[in-house]
């Protein structure tokens, strides 16, 4: 599967901080730092931070 198919398949999947950290195999504090520094696009629903999965594919900072 190429990157274009992956991006479109996961366009609307939302991950919370823990899920994003697990998916990228990084510490959740890494994700929180990226959010706090506004280095990634995120959504806040009440106190929950959500990140679209396709943002992970599109953001060069997250190509870990």
- The average confidence (pLDDT) of the chain is 83
- Give me the domains of the chain, ranges plus CATH numbers: 3-62 (1.10.10)
pLDDT tens by residue, 19-40: 999 988 899 999 999 999 999 8
What pLDDT does residue 37 have?
95
What phi and psi values does residue 49 have, to the nearest 5 degrees? Answer: -100, 130
Choose among 13, 2, 7: nearest CA to 59: 7
Q: Kindly tell me if the per-residue pLDDT of 6 is higher than 60.
A: no
Helical ranges in 1-64 per DSSP H = 3-9, 17-24, 28-36, 53-58
Q: How confident is the model at residue 53 (pLDDT cuts 50, 70, 90)?
A: confident
């Amino acid at each position: 599967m190429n990157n274009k198919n992956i991006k479109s398949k996961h366009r609307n999947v939302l991950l919370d901080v823990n899920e994003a950290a697990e998916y990228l195999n990084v510490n959740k504090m890494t994700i929180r730092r990226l959010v706090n520094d506004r280095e990634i696009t995120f959504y806040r629903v009440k106190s929950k931070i959500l990140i679209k999965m396709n943002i992970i594919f599109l953001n060069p900072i997250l190509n870990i």
